[in-house]
Amino acid sequence: MKLTQYSDLGLRLLMYLALRYDGSATIQEVSVRFAVSRNHMVKISHQLTKSGLIESTRGRNGGVRLARPPESITVEEAFHATEDHFDLVECFGPDNHCVITDVCKLSGVLDTARKAFFEALRKASLADLVKSGKTLEKSLLPFPEKTIVKFHPRSGSAAKRKAK
């Protein structure tokens, strides 16, 4: 099983916001930090806002922040907010046309595994994911001193270059 990049980035955004729980972050800042498209990060943040995991504020001092403390947000919630379904095989979904569904044992084994997977995710919170705080912060917060971020108003993207 492989999760989508959308879920991966959604979880990274939530982890970043957990590190900055007392403040907020701009989507531009997050997209630069993770070297991903700002537009893609806007879609992810919009979805996480709709799900109630983050709050968004518009305007000059706007940004996004966690809607609840990191200890109260489970990894399972994050995945359910960013994934449409977890149908590992055809017979888990509504459009099942598998001819061996009635006699197949694979779906039972996979369903047991899926339940165990979600149980593990239910036990892990965002706070658990950022416990190595200092190490994680070093790689994310603040911007490395030698990196200058230059915004290009026409393209809406950011370019990094090393300071000399």
End-to-end CA distance of the chain: 44
Q: Which helix (H) or strand (E) holds 160?
A: strand 157-162
- In terms of pLDDT, which residue wins out, 130 or 155? 130
Distances (CA, A) of 51 to 6, 78, 129: 15, 9, 20
User: pLDDT of 52-81, one tens digit each?
Assistant: 999 999 888 789 999 999 999 999 999 999
What does the pLDDT read at residue 101?
Answer: 78
| Domain ranges within the chain, ordered by starting residue | 5-84+125-142
Max CA-CA distance within the chain?
68
Q: Would you state the pLDDT for residue 141? A: 57
Give the separation between CA 97 and CA 90, rounded to whole angstroms.
8
Helices (H), the chain: 5-19, 27-33, 38-50, 75-82, 106-123, 126-129, 133-140
Predicted TM-score of the model (pTM): 0.77
* Tokens encoding 63: 């940004």
The 3-state DSSP class for residue 1 equals coil
Architecture of domain 5-84+125-142 in CATH?
A: Orthogonal Bundle (1.10)
